[in-house]
Amino acid sequence: MALQETHWSIQGEWQSGDWYLVHSPAPKPKQGGVLLGIRKDLLASTHYSWNELVPGRLLHWRGCIGKQACDIFNMYQHALTHKTEEQKQMTMKNRRGVWQQLDRALSALPFRSSIVLLGDFNMVLQPLARVSGKGIHLGSQNLELRQERSDVMEILERHRLVALNTWGKKQCTYKHPSGNSQIDYVLIRQQQADKISRTCGPVSAPIASWRTAGHEILLASFPQSWQPWKTRDHRAAQAGHSAKSLETIAGMQQPSLAALQASLQQHHNVSSVKLVKPALRDVNGEVLAIWRDLARARFRYSRDRLGRLFGAWQLALLKIRARRNIKRIARQRKREQILSILAMAESAGEQHQSRDYYKYVRMLAPKTQNRKICLRDSDGQLQNPAQECDQLTTYVQGLFAGPAYELPDLAPLPEEWFVAPEWEDAIKHMKSHKAVQLAWLPKPGKSTAIPANLRTIGLMGCDSKAWLYILKKHANPFVQTALRDIPQYAYRVQASTSDPLLRASKHCHTVREMLASCQDDLTSRLANQNQTLLIGGMMASLDLSKAFDSITHEEMYLALIDTGMPENLAGMLLRIHMNTTLHVVHKGCERKVSMGKDLRQGCGVAPMIYAAWTCRLCKQLAKHLGVGWHQRHKSIYADDKHGFWEIRSLGDLDKARKALGTMIQVITSLGMTVNSAKSRIVIALKGICT
């Protein structure tokens, strides 16, 4: 399903009922807009992507429909509406831009991919062998339009496309009192077009069919080049294969994980029940009663001339009252539905059914936009899954590349750490996990066209998490001890976000009082009151770019040793990170990357190691700025650094400026990068020197 000229301003993809929808808005409001809808049962997988070649005018979707790779283009060409010659030239320039983008995108597609091009061309094609038939109402013979028509037909012929709704009788697709025209088309590859496909034509609209002006709906049907016999054999083979039971696997000496997964899927697969949103209460009877009362009043006041004269006021009041009553009924039944959903969510929560609980919550919460990763190449075109996976792998290799560091000697750990009760306790603390090693999350407000706008999250299996939990259990006490005199308020016991906020608000309150005590108005000067040279305060918020991703293995090991942690435990934590291999899994493709640096976000020990690194940072600052400097002038929460100074003289201002520069230099020397775009400095000063 493809719609043009929606005039919507929303951009993105979502699901509604049995349909998957993608919309591209135009840059200007109330203009353009194309919407593409695909039934969910036609999508073979979630490995699809889309690209706005021309926002609001040309949308490109790529995915698999059945077993066939398919590229769908939804187009809405600029209309030929202009009043002046300058507007005409601008319109023709914009139209050429759309055709050029379409030509470039079609040229980048492999021949194995099925192509569907449909939409409002705002132009009339011309008959051309193998491209368009004789069923076309001829268009304008204007010189510029003839040249454009010739260029478009050349593009369609070069890419071997055929217009399906041009091979039958001539039928207009746009009707208007000033004239009818044939400007809407559906095109596919010539190799796919059969006799049934070429019967495409306009059909009656299921809604608003009484309208005599507007676009007609084009209905097309075309085959997909897939191989059903292979699918049938594959399903028959799957149906004939019986997985081993859990009892049989339990008796095996070396059971495989694949056999366990197959047994669980075949013998213990519990189908999820789709939760249905409670229906709204039927209020047709109440609304009908209100309208009947209005009809009776209208009849009563229309029987004589006097009634019509004075009854009009009464009738207007009754209409206002009826409108209010209808709104009240609508609000009441909506409230009843919300209360019913809340009751279901509460019941699911009491029964510890977290999955159902969050499904009910999503029924009430605003829908979040599902941003899909759609990477582009250097020319801005869509890529196949293998090319996207290669692009992600190249980015990961550059992101996690670090200086070589010699592994410390591997020393044994105490055996009592890994007895059965320790493993049982670790597994009890594990949350549900996914069999994905490296996941990608879009950063808020940024495009998903390049890997730099994605955030990496490392996900591990239950055994790896349990192993790290045991190590963290014995390593974390050393880090917590080191954090006692460090103003790091994340990843520590009995600390929260309120602590750094209170320190910052206290500094702001003190600076405001200092500024209020300084009287520098004209009255104070005439009264010869003592004038302060300089007074005020300064604070700086420093944001680190990819803080977790920038910690080198050397810094990681030195930070752990500085906390007083034994070398055998610190060395084991370092070896785990140095020997980690990341699996980049994307749309069915997989690559492997070794890590040269980085703390994986999502790793159980990553916050603890980063907290140890902040202890090392504060020790380095104390060497340059004096003992206790970080306790007086700094607050840290995770990777956010906040420095603050009270200024009472020119010397204090100079010291604050130098201390800020030293802090940035120390952070940079430890391998980090300060993000100047997200960092801020706030200064408030009063006095004669200002």
Domain ranges of the chain: 2-219, 283-364, 385-686
Q: What is the pTM of this model?
A: 0.60
E strand or H helix at 683, and its extent? strand 680-686
Residues in CB range of 341: below 8 A, 6 or more apart: 277, 278, 360, 363, 364
Contact 528, 576 (CB under 8 A): no
Pairing of strands 161-163, 114-120: unpaired
Distances (CA, A) of 167 to 72, 117, 223: 22, 17, 17
User: What is the architecture of the domain spanning 2-219?
Assistant: 4-Layer Sandwich (3.60)
Helices and strands in the chain, H and E counts: 18, 22
* pLDDT at residue number 59: 94
Residues in CB range of 379: below 8 A, 6 or more apart: 104, 108
Q: Is 112 helix (H, G, I), strand (E, B) or coil?
A: coil
* pLDDT at residue number 538: 95
Measured torsion, CA atoms of residues 176, 177, 179, 184, in degrees rounded to the nearest 10: 10
Cα separation, 319 vs 421, in Å, equals: 75
Residues in CB range of 78: below 8 A, 6 or more apart: 57, 91, 94, 95, 98, 122
685-687-690 Cα angle (round to 5): 65
* pLDDT at residue number 612: 93
Matching residue, tokens 């492999």: 110
Q: Which residues of the chain have pLDDT under 70?
A: 208-210, 225-242, 257, 268-272, 306-307, 366-370, 424, 426-438, 520-531, 598, 600-602, 690
DSSP state of 115: E
Cα separation, 633 vs 662, in Å, equals: 13
> How far does CA 478 lie from the centroid of its chain?
38
Closest CA to 406 of 553, 515, 301: 553
Cα separation, 675 vs 272, in Å, equals: 45
* pLDDT at residue number 225: 61
Task: Give the count of beta carbons closer than 10 Å to the beta carbon of residue 45.
Answer: 10
Q: In what order do the strands lie in the sheet with 114-120?
A: 49-54, 58-65, 68-76, 114-120, 184-189, 161-163
* pLDDT at residue number 437: 60
Cα separation, 233 vs 230, in Å, equals: 5
Sequential DSSP letters for 540-598: EEEEBTTTGGG-BHHHHHHHHHHTT--HHHHHHHHHHHHT-EEEEEETTEEEEEE-SB-
Q: In what order do the strands lie in the sheet with 34-39?
A: 2-4, 34-39, 19-24, 12-16
Q: What are phi and psi of 103, to 5 degrees?
A: -60, -40
